Structure 1
């Protein structure tokens, strides 16, 4: 059974190749979507090539709803987006994929049923299909090569749905068991280096010593040091001092 997660239905309109239907299913399931509708697939339904390409997302194909026409596929929906690279002389709101899925999330949150139309591989959606939609999703592709594969378009839209409805960590650091050094540890490291560098005559001439020490402390503060990093840097300095004492 489909999940209970509120989400748009992705409608594949007259898809031609089973492989692309299967790849679209994988793209949907990658981002937690499982409401696929298929209208008049060229090579019939069910489709063995679609199942083979879907791999672990075969459940979506088993549960996909089959319709003879676009009108019937979206009959129960209150808002429909049509993905197309071409403007077709129809006056409609035009969304980027990101804005469209944010809008879809808002509508679905208010209880609306939403669908997204994806056209067949060769020529995309026809004007009659687009005319049934409330808005257009236009992908900002290279104008000299604007054709998107069906599965690519589904994947891109599904990704934007995930972004619109999930907390996305845009940048993280894999700590691998480490912990960040605290300010006391950074301060101790800074004082250790200042003391040793002072004895080595690094802070010269004397009237520039304070700015040099301040710059050194600023350097430590900019580095994202873990506790293990700090311990390593202490060890490096101790070993250098021992080596100097032995060689001297």
Structure 2
């Protein structure tokens, strides 16, 4: 069985707060980045504060490797990116997350090992550490406020990594709506308009226009069968019985539907 890694390694260089390590692990778990390396974490390792903010991603913390310096942390890698929000004056390629992830996938497909360096919360990576990388990875952010939280930077890379692999497919789709047949819709209009006319809703000289406008309002978005049943039940409740009366409540229940599609969804 091959042990070749299928994702880039996330390397946090001298992270200062355990909370940020935990949140970075959470972001990694969100987007299927399975390997974390730590370079000389300020408060030592393991760190209880990291566990508290990992929100269930403790397996990444438990598997994290600790290294004394960047050179040791990247020794087995073949492609390394250094993240920074500032221009460093180094003669290196500068790429965004989309390009970096595309290159990473190509490198891993060719049996390469890829790592992404993330710097200290307060000052980022040092120039000598960036010098060990193949390219600089930066993000399109507001130039007036370019600094990212450590976990935010990891999340941006993770999102791009997962999106390119999954084709940006969403985890679930909109609940399927069953379009209402026109006979059902017109029957609802007949019912509603007859009830409104019986209660003197229409000024005689405006009935035709108001009827057309009301139909247009309902038809503008396309009604589903469930929506027609619900609207008819609401109208029946308001028009046919006293407030809280049993007959009206019963009719509303029948008209609104009691099947699996009835009621609100979350």
Structures share fold, TM-score greater than 0.5: yes
Structure 1 match to 2:17: 17
Aligned ranges for residues 1-248 of structure 1 at < 5 Å? 6-166=6-166, 167-169=168-170, 172-173=173-174, 175=175, 180-182=177-179, 184=181, 186=182, 188-190=184-186, 193=189, 222-234=220-232
RMSD: 3.6
Aligned 8 A contact 1:92 1:135 in 2: yes
Q: CA 1:220 to 1:106, structure 2 compared with 1: closer, same or farther past 3 Å?
A: farther
Structure 1 unaligned blocks of 5 or more: 244-248
Q: CA 1:12 to 1:224, structure 2 compared with 1: closer, same or farther past 3 Å?
A: farther
Aligned 8 A contact 2:180 2:224 in 1: no
Q: CA 1:48 to 1:233, structure 2 compared with 1: closer, same or farther past 3 Å?
A: closer
Q: Please, which moves more after superposition, 161-170 or 218-227?
A: 218-227
Q: Secondary structure at the match of 1:56?
A: coil
**1:183: how far off?**
5.9
Alpha-carbon separation, structure 2, partners of 1:22 and 1:170:
24
Q: CA 1:104 to 1:237, structure 2 compared with 1: closer, same or farther past 3 Å?
A: same
**1:73: how far off?**
1.4
**1:18: how far off?**
2.4
Q: Secondary structure at the match of 2:100?
A: helix
Q: CA 1:196 to 1:9, structure 2 compared with 1: closer, same or farther past 3 Å?
A: closer
Q: CA 1:220 to 1:130, structure 2 compared with 1: closer, same or farther past 3 Å?
A: same
**1:127: how far off?**
1.2
**1:74: how far off?**
1.6
Aligned residues: 232
**1:16: how far off?**
2.1
Q: Secondary structure at the match of 1:51?
A: helix
**1:172: how far off?**
4.1
**1:223: how far off?**
1.4
